[in-house]
Amino acid sequence: MFNLAVMASGRGSNFASIVEKIEAGEVPAVVNVLVSDNPQAKALEFARAHGIETAVFRREDFPTNKAHNQAIADFLRPRGIDLVVLAGYMRIVKAPLLEAFPNRIINIHPALLPSFPGLEGQRQALEYGVKISGCTVHFVDDRVDHGPIILQAAVPVEEDDTVETLSARILKEEHKLLPRAITLIAQGKVRVEGRRVRITP
Ligand code: GRF
């Protein structure tokens, strides 16, 4: 079975959507472990309720970012992980972890990259005044929200949108897009050619 490690820092709605779709037989994968940097993350409760192993690596327990990433890499390496999924993981993934899983870490970002990388992509898009925004699933490389794009979904920005209403519209799409990307990768349909991600029809 295609073995996932999911990393989440907070609410965990993307994590929940992955688990629910796995349980419904729509995503051919298993979640081996949920890793969080935040002991209070809602995602941890959801994992426990669904019998999924959890692990917490608090940043403050390590002297440097690198050491934090190294500890997570050392923890994940022996577990036979096929794909690491960043589902609302609010930290930058650094070399030790990237090198342990080359081209095997994906992230979901709540904007149409390369526009509006970094924090609060939805607010950035609204304040910039774009008429269309959306979400992006991409492979993680050594730059923030930068690696090759796997899938994107667009949503309109409505006249009366606030950050909250736009975020909610985007989130609905996130909950479909990330499981779809995982499915395509698990089925061996995704190939990276430089910056272009080729998907077998
Ligand atoms: C999502 O908007 C995701 O795109 C971003 O962080 C948020 C996480 O939400 N990276 P949740 O924890 O999955 O509910």
- The CATH number of whichever domain residue 134 belongs to comes to 3.40.50.170
Distance 41 CA to ligand 1 centre (A): 12
Task: Give the integer Cα–Cα distance in Å for 150 and 192.
Answer: 9
* pLDDT at res. 94: 87
Residue 122 Cα distances to 101, 126, 164, angstroms: 29, 6, 9
Nearest atom in ligand 1 to 8's CA: 12
Q: CA 152, CA 158: separation in Å to the nearest integer?
A: 19
| 136-151 tens-digit pLDDT | 999 999 999 999 999 9
97 and 118 together in one domain: no
Q: Are residues 124 and 161 in the same domain?
A: yes
Q: How far is ligand 1, taken at its centre, from the CA of residue 69, in Å?
A: 20
68 and 132 both lie in a single domain: no
Which pLDDT score, from 0 to 100, does residue 49 have?
Answer: 98
- Domain boundary at 81, 102, 123, which? 102
- Per-residue pLDDT, averaged over 32-42, amounts to 98
Rounded to an integer, the average pLDDT of 51-74 is: 97
pTM above 0.95, yes or no: yes
Q: What digits encode the pLDDT tens for the residues 151-197?
A: 999 999 999 999 999 999 999 999 999 999 999 999 999 999 999 99
**Same domain flag for 5 and 94:** yes
pLDDT tens profile 65-121: 999 999 999 999 999 999 999 999 999 998 999 999 999 999 999 999 999 999 999
Ligand 1, pocket residues at CB < 6 Å: 8, 10-15, 87-88, 108-110, 171, 174
Nearest CA to ligand 1 atom 7: 88
SS (H, E, C) 41-107: CHHHHHHHHCCCCEEECCHHHCCCHHHHHHHHHHHHHHHCCCEEEECCCCCCCCHHHHHHCCCCEEE
Is 126 found in the same domain as 77? no
- Neighbouring residues of 28: CB distance < 8 A, sequence distance ≥ 6: 1, 2, 183, 186, 187
Query: Same domain, yes or no, for 80 and 114?
Result: no
| The total number of structural domains that make up the chain | 2
Annotated catalytic residue 175: no
pLDDT confidence tier of residue 129, bands split at 50, 70 and 90: very high
CA-CA distances (angstroms) from residue 112 to 30, 59, 128, 148, 159? 28, 29, 13, 13, 19
Q: Determine the structural domain holding residue 85 and report its residue range.
A: 1-102
Same domain, 36 and 90: yes
**Residue 96 sits in the same domain as residue 113:** no
**Nearest atom, ligand 1, residue 135 CA:** 4
